[in-house]
């Protein structure tokens, strides 16, 4: 063990890349390699979850049951949610963190490289496990990604496998979060004070604390499901003195901060990209940090707004309504700051900027419907309808996923050393930005007209908007093939070399190293010179 560590330590001072697939990838401890693996896994999961969404939209293309039986439809909606949240969005952000945080704070690697390897390599097995449940007798879990008892306890034997997979994902997330916190707090280059850090690093620091706080709560909730199902406990069984609502409380105590886990790092990406392409420093750096921290704090005291229709006492409903409404204040500050950053800038609209602008516009639409949902009496009409589906897809697809795409286009030249195709990037953007609205905007109408979520078939009054939505869905799904094509082109086929400072207006340590970033960077801490950092002379 000791010699192993010594050899590895020695390796780190050379710039040679480990030879052979097993050494390079299976035994990977390099933050860039692990970041790449996270991003590739996320992309694969994005397409698996996306394929499920395509089947769902195809079944909903017109009324009547055409393609899949209702139970299988429920398996698809459930797995689509779990795969997209835990398999696509979260690993993609961890991948961005792995690549960028050491580069941005001037660290040679993540603080705990071996744990980094473990936290990645757990994930493929977790997802193989959860996908394998589709082929088990009785089928996969079909109670929605929230897995409410008693319904979820009616699942076949796949329940135990799913719960184990969720435990694995949770362990992976906690280890990833510990690593990120340890890296940011310990490995910053001299002169990189906390309040000089890039906002992407700040948002991830706060996100990592959220993850450590909430993943054990989810693990506890699903473990109680496991013991209720297999060991005769009655946590959630009313007939045995248990309480069905207890599960909802525990789940959403995890679930609400979880939605901020998926959006705060996207806020960070957007806060990097808009100043770069506006050629102007971010407006209100400190308010951005404080707003992120307030959102994170508030996210712990709003969980019951997912449960307004369960019959909570009026006082509790009022408290959670006020707390929920309060979140729109720091969120609003962030949006206003982005707009103010663009104000009197000198803007160009390369693909990352296009995605960032679309993020601000479309995430804000999700924010508006979120405000509407926060008002309890109105929520009594919106809850569990397609209005909710529209709301969270606006914040997760045109929010979180667009944030990830923004980051990928922004940093891909740094990772690969080549420019992506700007023309195809723009085609990808316009097709995605238009189709995502054709896909999700009509779902607001469907929900308001009374269409519940998670149904495979519906009354003919809902037929027209569903058809529109499905067409948007197919176009959106197909457009993502352009994204993959562009990435493959950039990494393997593009000829033109990207400069170290890929974007004219980019500031920060990651732009001080060559493109592609060498296998080992900042083996000795960089000397930070005036003007090198985006927020080097913060007085605001």
Partner 1 sequence: MTQPATRSANRSGAHCLPRTLLALAGALSSAAALANPEHPTQWQLNLTRGVSPLSHDVWDLHMAVFYVCIGIGVVVYGAMVYAMFKFRKSKGAEAAQFTHNTKAEVIWTILPVLILIGLAWPATRILVYENNTSNSVLTVKVTGVQWKWFYEYIDYKGQPVNNVSIISMLATDSNDARQMDSGISPWSIKSKHGVDDYLLNVDHPLVLPTHTKIQFLITAADVIHGFWVPALGWQADAIPGQIHDAWGQLDKPGTYRGQCAQLCGQDHAYMPIVIKAVPRAEFQQWLVTQENKSRMQDVSRTAQVVAAPGAAPQG
Residues 266 to 305: which contact partner 1 by CB under 8 A?
278-285, 287
- Residue tagged active-site, from 62, 249, 426, 453: 453
Site string for partner 1, 241-260 (x = CB under 8 A): -xxxx---------------
- Residue 252 tokens read as 């959403």
DSSP characters for 382-400?
A: HTTBHHHHHHHHHHIIIII
Q: Is 172 a catalytic residue?
A: yes
The smaller minimum CB distance to partner 1, of residues 115 and 372, is found at 372
Neighbours of 464 (CB within 10 A): 13
Which single residue is written with the structure tokens 């959403």? 252
Q: Which residues are CB-neighbours of 11 under 8 A, at least 6 positions away?
A: 18
List binders of partner 1 among 155-214 (CB under 8 A): none
- φ, ψ of residue 497 to 5 degrees: the values are -80, 140
Query: Is 145 a known active-site residue?
Result: yes
> Considering the complex, what minimum distance in angstroms separates the CB of residue 321 from partner 1?
7
The answer to whether 258 is a known catalytic residue is yes
Residue 368 is a binding residue for partner 1 (CB under 8 A): yes
The count of C-alpha atoms lying within 13 angstroms of the C-alpha of 411, restricted to the half-sphere facing its C-beta, is 31
Residue 297 CB, nearest approach to partner 1 (Å): 16
Q: Which of 186, 227, 348, 523 binds partner 1 (CB under 8 A)?
A: 348
Residues 492-511 that bind partner 1 (CB under 8 A): 505
The residue count for binding partner 1 (CB under 8 A) is 95
Cα–Cα separations (whole angstroms), residue 529 to 202, 303, 501, 502, 513: 21, 45, 16, 19, 14
434 binds partner 1 (CB under 8 A): no
Q: Is 530 in the site for partner 1 (CB under 8 A)?
A: no
Q: Say whether 62 sits in a helix, a strand or coil.
A: coil
Residue 57 · residue 369 · CB < 8 Å: no
Shortest CB 56 distance to partner 1, Å: 13
Considering the complex, state which of residue 101 and residue 373 has its C-beta at the smaller distance from partner 1: 373
Nearest CA-CA partner of 169 in 209, 121, 207: 121
Q: Catalytic one among 158, 173, 364, 406?
A: 173
Single residue of 9, 19, 344, 495 touching partner 1 by CB under 8 A:
344
User: Of 63 and 113, which CB lies nearer to partner 1 in the complex structure?
Assistant: 63
Nearer of residues 109 and 379 to partner 1, judged by Cβ: 379
Question: Smallest gap, in angstroms, from Cβ of residue 540 to partner 1?
Answer: 4
Q: Which residue out of 25, 121, 145, 489 is catalytically annotated?
A: 145
Long-range Cβ contact pairs of 125-128 (< 8 A, separation 24 or more): 125/168, 126/86, 126/165, 126/166, 126/168, 126/169, 126/172, 127/41, 127/45, 127/83, 127/87, 127/165
Q: Write down the catalytic residue from 99, 247, 260, 409.
A: 260
**Residue choice 127, 411, 458, 503 for contact with partner 1 (CB under 8 A):** 458
Q: Is 13 in the site for partner 1 (CB under 8 A)?
A: no
Which of 150, 191, 525, 536 binds partner 1 (CB under 8 A)? It is 150
Smallest separation, CB 424 to partner 1 (Å): 21
Helices (H), 397-462: 402-416, 422-449
Q: Does residue 361 touch partner 1 according to CB under 8 A?
A: yes
Determine the distance from the C-alpha atom of residue 59 to the mean position of all C-alpha atoms in its chain, rounded to a whole number: 27
Tell me the closest approach of the beta carbon of residue 166 to partner 1, in angstroms. Answer: 18
| Interface region with partner 1, contact rule CB under 8 A, candidates 108-116, 178-186, 338-346, 412-420 | 338-346
26 binds partner 1 (CB under 8 A): no
Catalytic (active site) residue 306: yes
Catalytic residue among 334, 391, 418, 520: 334
Residue of 121, 108, 152, 130 lying closest to 52 (CA atoms): 130
Q: Which of 33, 59, 75, 109 is catalytic?
A: 109
Rounded Cα distance between 226 and 359, Å, is: 39
**Pair 150, 243: CB distance under 8 Å:** no
Nearer to partner 1, 71 or 430 (CB): 71
d(C-alpha 56, C-alpha 300), whole Å = 32
Contact set for partner 1, span 42-71 (CB under 8 A): 62-66, 69-71
Pairwise CA distance, residues 145 & 141, whole Å = 9
Distance separating alpha carbons of residues 119 and 91, to the nearest angstrom: 10
The answer to whether residues 147 and 139 touch, using CB atoms and an 8 Å cutoff, is no
Using CB under 8 A as the binding rule, whether residue 385 contacts partner 1 is answered as yes
Catalytic residue annotation: 80, 109, 145, 172-173, 256, 258, 260, 271, 305-306, 331, 334, 453
């Amino acid at each position: 063990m000791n010699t192993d560590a010594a050899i590895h330590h020695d390796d780190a001072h050379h710039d040679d890349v480990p030879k052979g697939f097993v050494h390079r990838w299976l035994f990977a401890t390099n933050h860039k390699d692990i970041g790449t693996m996270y991003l590739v896994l996320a992309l694969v999961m994005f397409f698996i979850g996306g394929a499920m969404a395509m089947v769902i939209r195809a079944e909903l293309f017109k009324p009547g049951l055409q393609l899949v039986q209702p139970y299988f439809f429920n398996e698809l909606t459930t797995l689509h949610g779990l795969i997209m949240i835990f398999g696509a969005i979260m690993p993609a952000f961890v991948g961005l963190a792995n690549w960028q945080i050491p580069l941005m704070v001037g660290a040679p690697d993540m603080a705990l490289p071996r744990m980094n390897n473990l936290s990645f390599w757990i994930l493929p097995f977790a997802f193989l496990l959860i996908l394998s449940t589709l082929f088990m007798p009785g089928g996969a879990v079909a109670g929605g990604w929230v897995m409410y008892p008693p319904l979820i306890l009616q699942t076949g034997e796949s329940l135990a496998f799913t719960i184990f997979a969720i435990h694995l994902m949770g362990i992976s997330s906690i280890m990833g979060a510990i690593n990120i916190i340890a890296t940011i707090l310990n490995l910053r280059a001299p002169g990189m004070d906390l309040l000089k850090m890039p906002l992407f690093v700040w948002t991830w620091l706060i996100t990592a604390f959220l993850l450590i706080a909430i993943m054990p709560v989810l693990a506890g909730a699903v473990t109680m499901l496991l013991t209720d199902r297999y060991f005769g406990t009655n946590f959630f069984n009313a007939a045995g003195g248990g309480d069905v609502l207890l599960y909802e409380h525990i789940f959403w105590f995890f679930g609400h901060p979880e939605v901020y886990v998926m959006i705060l790092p996207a806020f960070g990406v957007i806060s990097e990209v808009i100043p770069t392409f506006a050629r102007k420093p971010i407006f209100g750096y400190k308010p951005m940090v404080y707003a992120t921290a307030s959102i994170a704090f508030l996210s712990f005291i709003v969980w019951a707004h997912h449960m307004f229709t369960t019959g909570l006492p009026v006082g509790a409903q009022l408290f959670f309504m006020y707390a929920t409404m309060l979140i729109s204040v720091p969120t609003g500050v962030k949006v206003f700051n982005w707009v103010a950053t663009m104000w009197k800038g000198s803007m160009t609209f390369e693909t990352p900027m296009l995605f960032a602008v679309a993020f601000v516009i479309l995430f804000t639409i999700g924010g508006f419907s979120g405000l509407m949902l926060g008002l309890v009496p109105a929520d009594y009409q919106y809850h569990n309808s397609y209005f909710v589906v529209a709301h969270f897809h606006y914040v997760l697809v045109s929010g979180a996923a667009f944030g990830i795409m923004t980051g990928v286009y922004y940093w891909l030249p740094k990772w690969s050393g080549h420019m992506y195709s700007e023309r195809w990037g723009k085609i990808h953007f316009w097709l995605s930005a238009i189709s995502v609205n054709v896909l999700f905007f009509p779902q607001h109408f469907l929900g308001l007209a009374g269409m519940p979520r998670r149904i495979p078939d519906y009354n003919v009054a809902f037929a027209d908007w569903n058809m529109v939505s499905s067409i948007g869905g197919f176009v959106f799904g197909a457009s993502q093939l352009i994204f993959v094509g562009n990435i493959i082109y950039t990494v393997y086929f593009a000829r033109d070399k990207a400069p170290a400072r890929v974007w004219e207006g980019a500031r920060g340590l990651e732009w001080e190293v060559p493109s592609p970033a060498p296998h080992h960077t900042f083996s000795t801490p960089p000397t930070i010179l005036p003007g090198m950092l985006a927020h080097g002379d913060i007085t605001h």
